[in-house]
Structure 1
Amino acid sequence: MTTEAVQQEIERLRNPDILQLEQVKRFSTWLDDRRKLGQPGRAVGNTGLGKTSAAIFYTFRNRASNQPHQSPTVPVLYLEIRGGSCSPILLFELILKTLKHKATGGNENQLRKRAWDKLRQCKVEVLIIDESHRLQFKSLPDVTDLHKELGILPILIGTSSRLDTLLSKDEQVASRFACYFNFEELAGNNFRKTVKIWEQEILRLPEPSNMATNDDIITLLQEKTSGQLRLLDQILRNAAIKALESGVKKIDKALLDSIEGDYSLVAS
């Protein structure tokens, strides 16, 4: 490969990809069922298991459509809560900002009314709230009111322990989100299958590495990732970039061992 071609491949590997893994497909089916039944739900799992990627994929699959001189139709609205705590005001501001509403200032009641009006105008059917364990407890009634008053289906996404702890503070709220989808850690044949998919569809090196059939490599990757999809993605991309920079056409165990630094989860 020429130097320019190598650099292009490295830049490609630095850009995120969302693949239709089996768990992503099952999550999409689960969301479709929630819409048919009109039942809110929650998607839970430890960090790094692909919850956000799966939610973004579903949102893209149900992306907004635009018509001249009208508000866009947004069947699925995806929000990601940032920061340590999300009050009702911050939640309404995020909804308005995501729907590109120009006026995002005002008090809580003004923002609530404005957000509700905008959600109606955009015909939002599903509201996916990622990192929802960051919601303040007093924001939960506003989330449930979206379902009761507007017929919008709220789907909460968060880490198992923190989101369940938040919901458990109010049994009525908890009962509304009793239906859940559990994101599982990669293990066994599923881990091997995912490594194979990553090699073929993400890394795409000049020569096959056949990592999924190499027991030593699989054992090494399992130890380094603890079944986390995010860590697996980081390690394999890192290895592929190092291979390209070194003029190597595939990944072997020696190359994986030579990656500077290491990957491990911080003990809780």
Structure 2
Amino acid sequence: MIQKDLSEFLEFVSAEKGLSAHTIEAYQRDLAQFVEFLEVKKWALKEIQLPHLREFLASLRKRELSSRTLARKSSALRQFFRFLLRENKVKSDPTELLLVQVKQKRLPKHLTVDEMFRVISMASGDSDLGVRDRALLELWYATGTRVSEICQIQISDFDFQQKTVKVIGKGNRQRLLPVGEVALTWCRKYQDIRHEWIRQAGLKEMDIFFLSPTGTQLSRQSVWKILRKYAKKAGIKRSVWPHMIRHSFATHILRNGADLRAVQELLGHRSISTTEVYTHLDIENLKVMQAKYHPRS
């Protein structure tokens, strides 16, 4: 019965709220833990109250999960119980008084302009894979897309004359992004290689742009490996992960004078407050500059 309610909830958030597949997968994982906990305790959904939820969260804290992860799981519970209440499957929403303390949001980490250029230049284009990787890195940095978005880009999304690419973001929202000439040049070079890979694999022509030599779509994990490979070659010692490219894009164009609202549109943020975190990065940078150069610092 609980599994049926969970399935109906996941169908609801997929159809009614237009959430991305990744968000729905996260809901499923988080709520599956809760359902498993209920089954062990032999509790029915209709009898769940605030103390039951606190006991569940306490069991998660014993696993030393971060406060951010706990907050995400609590958010999933809230959405689930609101759905159950709306469908008259429970008489009240026990999550109304549920509070989870979240640590202060950390500022996003980014690469410097020099580091970013070094990473990209490591994909020299001396081989077919090198050309693909250079096209990937150039386009990624040129547009500030999420890793999931760049993996989904299709040939038909490009308009080489208008120098734009269409991406599908969270909630299946589309946005049209300008692409610089350097990135477009590498994408054009890669097109011929890509076509040859598909032919050699004996496959029909497909629309997904970034492929492996065997003609399969690059996964997010594959793109992460590509990024780490070139970051290591560039001599970057600290950890580098996909979202740092997006953070670097936003930070660099803001520091060069880009309008915050324009950056919001480029990143596909619904709220300007999400984009404003990058202005805090600039404040931190200004503090460093002041401490270094001001005679009274």
TM-score (norm 2): 0.27
Higher relative contact order (CA 8 A, sep 6+): 1
Structure ranking higher in helix proportion: 2
Flag the structure with larger Rg. Answer: 2
TM-score (norm 1): 0.29
Structure ranking higher in strand proportion: 1
